A and B are shown apart, each in its own frame.
Chain A
Amino acid sequence: MNTLLLLLAGFFLPLFPLSMAFNWLLGRFNNPVVRVLLILVWPQIGVLLVLAAGVPLTGSVFLWWGLITAAFYAWRLLTVRELGQWAAMLATSAFALTWVMAADGARAIDLHAFVLGFAVAPALLVVITTLLERRLGAAYSGLVTGMARDIPRLAGLITVVLLAAMALPISPGFFVMLDLLLESHPAPVIVALLTWLLWSWAGTRLLRDTVFGPRSGKNVADLPVPLAWAFAGVIVAAVVLNLIWTGV
């Protein structure tokens, strides 16, 4: 096991404070394509580095470092109101859990699928952030509430993606999380469960402060129907692919 490689992997499967690099990059770029690519590709590099270093990991330093990072960023989600930043922190928290799988000696393909499963919701959130910024000037929770009645299609998309971000069934995140919980030891499982709980809590707050609540009466255009169908297709594809991968 090469510790240097693992430390390097700590930038890509973010470990605090190395995680700041990933978050800085996501904040640096405004282009949604770049941001989505970053979310999809960045952790895969981390997986390659971890595999190069050799799995299963010996000792529990990286395992607990990853868990603490995941819980810390999940906790931070509760206070973040900017949706782009929220997506970045969720991705950081989720990717950090890869260290648990690596510690348990998961197969290479499973590790790649693991981070991909967790990347779906943050990537979609980045796209939603762009859609909201174009319509409202910013994707900031609490500024515009009651979207469910003003822009129902976009609100529906936000709801589905946020539910996926909370790793609820049948989102890819749910099965990935299930895999982690079933394969791991009790102590890491407890921290992972706590992290999951924090995601749900933060996600619910975000839903409350965007989709629900009193109508703000903003006269903005809803998501065009073809685009709504396109998103639905992407989400269904992600779910189906994930079901195929998990063998359900």
Chain B
Amino acid sequence: MSRLTLGHRLKIRSMVHMAAEPIPFFWPMRTFIHHNPLHGLEHLPFEQGVRQGEQLFHGRGFLPRTDYQRYHAEGKVDDATLGDDIRRFLAERDAIGELDLQGLLQTLLCRTPETVGVRLDLADADDIKCAIDGGTSCAEETADIDALHERLARQFPPERPLYESIDLLFGTEIGTTLDELVIKSCLDFFDEGQSTLQMPGREHGFFTAWSALAKRNLRLFLRGLHIKKILAQDASAEGVIAYVLGELGIEEAHWDGLITRELTRLHGWAGFIRWRSSAKRYHWSQTYPGDLIDFLAIRLVLGLALIREHARRKRLPATFPELSHYLEQHTAECYLRQAYHGGTVQPEWAHRVDDALAHKHPGRINRLLPEYLQAERIAETRRQADRLLSLAEAAGQTEALKALDADQTDALLTLLDEFEDGEGMMWLRAMEAVYRKSVLNEIKLLPPAKREKRPFAQALFCIDVRSERIRRQLEHVGDYQTFGIAGFFGVPVSFIGLGKGTELDLCPVQITPKNVVLEVPTGATQIETDFYSSASHVLHDVKSSVLSPYFTVEAIGLLFGFDMIGKTVAPRVYDRWRNRIEPKDASTRLLIDKLSREQGDSIVRSLQRVTIVRAIGQELGIDRDAITDSMIRELREIAMGNKEGTSEFARQFALSPAAEADFIETLRDEYRINPSFVSMQMERLGKIGFSTDEQVYFVGQALRMMGMKETFSRFVILAGHASESDNNPYESALDCGACGGGHGLVSARVLAQMANKSEVRRRLAEQGIHIPDDTWFVPAQHNTTSDEIVLHDLDLLPTSHLVYMERLRNGLRAASRLCAAERLPTLEEGVDPNLDTTTAYRHIQRNTSDWTQVRPEWGLARNAAVVVGGRHLTEDMNLDGRSFLLSYDYKLDTKGRLLDTILSGPLIIGEWINLEHYFSAVDNEGFGSGSKAYHNVAGRFGVMTGNLSDIRTGLPSQTVLKDGRPYHEPLRLLVIVEAPVPHVLAAAGRVPKALSLIVNGWINVVVADPESGHLHFFDRGEWHDLGPAPQRAKQLESIDAEESPA
């Protein structure tokens, strides 16, 4: 029982929930969801959100200056924008002496590698002025020792976890030990089948299961951690939280701040637990519930036990008041301690400080401190003066700097400090300006040219940036028209694959699918359960049991050796050979039509009969051949409460009335033959498939969104996409983000199946969408690793289309090879520029099966823009695989509803993908997941660095960095929408999330107004008319020139 009142418990729960708000969700890696790591801060303006994110997650929100300077040297930074931003910064500030501040700051940004405006701790402006003037006895004044206590008190606020303070002062490693213990507990509880031995009692919840185990944990006890005593204080997680915080002496006013810091210390785990507790349909969450309150309670219990153990053994403060008292009583010692253990001690003094602290003699420490402070002050003064002088010299303003008095020097230092605080944003804006101009200069804001005949084939690709290349190549090789649509083709589907028991949501994570699609075998191919499959299962079982690995290494280790050699030496050949002996995928269809009530009822009855037969066998030991269908039917009716009295079955097998009643009760309770379970089954069956209305709606919406109303080709290829690689926990990150990190093929098959139905077409025709009879929608999968496009469900293809298949395949193959040849130089060094496409394609294909390849493809790296509009805008441009292309025709969307859908779905997916790449590139250790080479899979849902770490969120260095430098140029997403300005503004107004992203600057928006021909850019809270689109202006000029008399 908890000693807390319900109100108090709820208060703690809400406190934890509020504290966790900024922590982004972490989805299991099986369905990797790209997301903005600062998603919880998107309500703030970008710069402010980044600043807060840096503090919360200890990451860096912008690149180091040297990286920006490299971009600057490469011409990727717009000097004019940089200059404007400096001017804007200076406009609000006073001049300082004779300094040319504009020039000084420009020099600071472009030619000074180090920061100059560091906040001073000990030195003051007089000291620095003296040093600038070449003085030799500057900073001789001893620093005010009394002020140190105040500084220390600020450094160790109650919101800071106590163990962190103790670690910093005494060099203990309580925080690290605590993190390890918490991670181990999380691995035990949240495991999704990776471990052979499971944590007992998981079904009771995280905290309950953990505390039951921790009370009996001998290892913790032997380490001196008296967990049991703490857990005895309260049975509930909330109660334990309140108890521990009380014991630590933290006042309630500071709890929320402390909780945020506790949760963000392992923000990967916290993000996973936060997502998991909110995913009500997630199997593991339903079976083994756990939330952040449990997580926090466990963390605090272990933390308190560790603090007490250290306090006992080393006589350290064990509560916050004790720490405050210690700081007050031993200010000199604490100052030296934090400098020494925090790594900020003057290197030359490290040994003396270490010695003094080790001897713990107050007199010695007190004697040392003034000397140390003075040395530190002198060093700080010298360092600061040198930096100022170097900067002034580089800017040619040394004399002007020397002419400043102390107050002006102080003002300069403050100005530099403020400027450097905001310089990341200036660099970013200046880089974005270059990219924006390069795209807008080329964009063709002109009406699309009229086609004389329908294209040979039309292909619908995902909006993914990787589709841009293949679309461009396909259009180049033949008479193909391509479109871009979110990879789930606008149909949210919950998919149950063949032989799978769980549903997989194939749609953006913001959407919860209402319809289930079931994959069923056609029977055309036998489902293989041959020797190979059985052997694979046996090997897997042998590998994962407790004892068997000891002897299996000797017994069958050689088999794995062959596998290893094959995969390493000749991955392509070996893969082909394995594919030959592995069972083939069964031929299947998707159940996309709604079941009628009668059909559902019949299915349920049939299942119940099978269950009753099994129950009779298991409970009474009676074989099926001894009973008849009518007996089963009667038993079912009785169990369902539709009939009463003795059954024929009871009479036949001489069951007493009591035995019969018992059996019926068992059927109801254990075998769930009861009305409530039936209604639940009926409800679930009701979710299977789509009604005809729904099918018409989804097909119509998809076609209208892309502007496909007429002129349909013979083939309309719906190309979902997926990646293929080996030994890659991040494979799902390379799959389709619009399909919730899954493959896009299922969605393509669903839409194709719908669009090929004559009833759907008939109803679409009534809505003005005329799909000719000879048009066939063909589902396909674009393998983004190899660029291969494979057509599916070809057995359904009308005979009339077969003669065109060779041409279609040739075209697709040629596009794939050209695309591979284009991508190869980005993946391999020293590629021969004249390499033929066949060889390039072979090189690229190797990445699908090479298990040593840490970068099978670049994925979505370098993404920078999304173009919402017709293909004519970009058809002549090489967008270098950096743009999401979303087909949209505003003329078919008079009410703006389709644009609403785009803004609330694909746009947000694009923004998440973009910012995930952005932050992983600017700080791969903080916001990314570091190098893949050190990753280990954790619990089958995430990866850790090494064998024990926080769950690594974000993208690995191999995805965003090349040779240690950003390959992905970190820019905010440039969104270009082709539509009249009022149309876009109205839609944005209807989608608050999109509006917030635009207004707060998480994306850059340009409206390309086809009616006025002008481009409009939203910047700093207002729209700027950029004038006519350059390509349009050029065309108008040429028309004018043609029309004007010679």
Interface set of A (CB-CB < 8 Å, partner B): 81-82, 85, 136-138, 140, 142-144, 149, 214, 216, 219
Q: Report yes or no: A82 in contact with B350, Cβ–Cβ below 8 A.
A: yes
**A27 smallest CB distance to B (angstroms):** 10
Inter-chain residue pair count (beta carbon < 8 A): 28
Please, how many angstroms separate the alpha-carbon atoms of A142 and B351 in the complex? 12
B contact residues vs A (CB 8 Å cutoff): 113-114, 343, 345-348, 350-351, 354, 925, 964
- Tell me the nearest residue of chain A to B358, going by C-beta: A79
Answer whether A138 and B347 are a contact pair too, CB < 8 Å, given A81-B354, A214-B925. Answer: yes
Docked Cα-Cα span, A238 to B248, in Å, equals 57
Given contacts A143-B343, A143-B345, A214-B925, contact A138 B351 (CB under 8 A): yes
20 contacting pairs across A/B (C-beta < 8 A): A81-B354, A82-B350, A82-B351, A85-B351, A136-B347, A137-B347, A137-B348, A138-B347, A138-B350, A138-B351, A140-B347, A140-B350, A140-B351, A142-B343, A143-B345, A144-B347, A214-B925, A216-B343, A219-B113, A219-B114
B347, A143: Cβ atoms under 8 Å? yes
Q: How far is the CA of A144 from the CA of B114 in the complex (A)?
A: 18
Tell me the interface secondary structure of chain A in the complex.
loop
For B113, B114, B345, B964, the residue with the greatest tally of chain A CB atoms inside 10 Å of its CB is B345
| B-chain residues with CB within 8 Å of residue A82 when the two chains form the complex | 350-351, 354
A150 to chain B, nearest CB (A): 12
Nearest-neighbour CB distance to chain B for A58, whole angstroms, equals 41
Q: Which residue of B lies closest to A215 (CB)?
A: B925
> In the complex, A115→B347 CA distance in Å?
32
Q: Which residues of B contact A214 (CB under 8 A)?
A: 925
**Nearest-neighbor residue (CB-CB) of B114 within chain A:** A219
Top 3 nearest A-B pairs (CB, nearest first) are A137-B347, A138-B347, A140-B350
Q: Which residues of A contact B345 (CB under 8 A)?
A: 143
Inter-subunit contact B925/A138 (CB<8 Å): no
Alpha-carbon distance between A128 and B347 when the two chains are bound, in angstroms = 16
Residue of B nearest to A136 (CB): B347
Provide the main secondary structure of the chain B interface.
loop
- Min distance, Cβ B295 to any Cβ of chain A, angstroms: 25
**Contacts of A144 on B, CB cut-off 8 Å?**
347
New contact pairs (17) apart from A82-B354, A138-B351, A144-B347, CB-CB < 8 Å = A81-B350, A81-B354, A82-B350, A85-B351, A137-B346, A137-B348, A138-B347, A138-B348, A138-B350, A140-B347, A140-B350, A140-B351, A143-B345, A149-B964, A216-B343, A219-B113, A219-B114
CB closest residue in chain B, given A132? B347
User: Distance in Å from the Cβ of B265 to the closest Cβ of chain A?
Assistant: 16
Q: In the complex, what's the smallest C-beta–C-beta distance from B45 to chain A, in angstroms?
A: 28
- List the A residue with the shortest CB-CB distance to B355: A82
- In the bound assembly, the distance between CA atoms of A85 and B352 in angstroms comes to 13
Residue of B nearest to A82 (CB): B351
**From B964, which residue of chain A is reached at the shortest CB distance?**
A149
How long is the Cα–Cα vector from A136 to B346 in the complex, in angstroms?
Answer: 10
Chain A proximity of B966: nearest CB distance (Å): 16
Q: Which of chain A's residues have a CB closer than 8 A to the CB of B348? A: 137-138
Q: How far is the CA of A82 from the CA of B345 in the complex (A)?
A: 14
* Chain B residues within 8 Å of A85, by CB: 351
A48 CB to nearest chain B CB (Å):
33
Residues of the A chain whose Cβ atoms lie less than 8 Å from the Cβ of B925: 214
In the complex, how many angstroms separate the beta carbon of B390 from the nearest chain A beta carbon?
12
Query: In the complex, what distance in Å separates the CA atom of A137 from the CA atom of B114?
Result: 19
A143 in contact with B350 (CB, 8 Å): yes
CA distance A138 to B375 in the complex (A): 15
Q: Please, which residues of chain A bring their CB within 8 A of the CB of B114?
A: 219
CA distance A142 to B343 in the complex (A): 7
- Complex interface: chain B residues within 8 A of A149 (CB): 964
List residues of chain B with CB within 8 A of the CB of A81: 350, 354
> What is the CB-to-nearest-CB distance from A131 to chain B, in angstroms, rounded to a whole number?
14
When distances are taken between beta carbons in the complex, the residues of chain A under 8 Å from B351 are 82, 85, 138, 140
Report chain B residues within 8 Å CB of A137. Answer: 346-348
Report the Cα distance A137→B379, complex, angstroms.
11
Q: Which residues of A contact B113 (CB under 8 A)?
A: 219
Give chain A residues whose Cβ lies under 8 Å from the Cβ of B354. 81-82
Q: How far is the CA of A82 from the CA of B354 in the complex (A)?
A: 10
Residue of A nearest to B346 (CB): A137
CB distance from B952 to the nearest CB of A (A): 15
What are the residues of chain B within 8 A of A219 when measuring CB–CB?
Answer: 113-114
User: In the assembled complex, how far is the CB of residue B356 from the closest CB belonging to chain A, in whole angstroms?
Assistant: 14
Nearest neighbor of B354 in chain A, beta-carbon distance: A81
Q: B627 → chain A, closest Cβ, in Å?
A: 71
- Inter-chain CA distance A149–B930, complex, in Å, is 14
Chain B residues with Cβ under 8 A from A216's Cβ?
A: 343
B114 to chain A, nearest CB (A): 7
B346 to chain A: which residues have CB within 8 Å?
137
Give bound CA distance, A81 to B343, whole Å.
13
**Nearest CB in chain A: distance from B933 CB, A:** 14
A54 to B826, CA, bound (A): 72
Q: Which residue of A lies closest to B341 (CB)?
A: A142
| Nearest CB of A to B65, in Å | 12
Q: Counting chain A CB atoms within 10 Å of each CB, which of B113, B343, B351 scores highest?
A: B351
- Inter-chain CA distance A216–B342, complex, in Å, is 12
Docked Cα-Cα span, A216 to B925, in Å, equals 13
CA–CA, A132 and B354, complex, Å: 18
CA distance A82 to B349 in the complex (A): 11
The distance in angstroms between the C-alpha atoms of A143 and B351, with both chains bound, is 11
Complex contacts, B347 vs chain A, CB 8 Å: 136-138, 140, 143-144
Q: Using Cβ atoms and an 8 Å threshold, which residues of chain B touch A136?
A: 347
Query: Residues of A contacting B350 with CB < 8 Å?
Result: 81-82, 138, 140, 143
CB distance from B852 to the nearest CB of A (A): 23
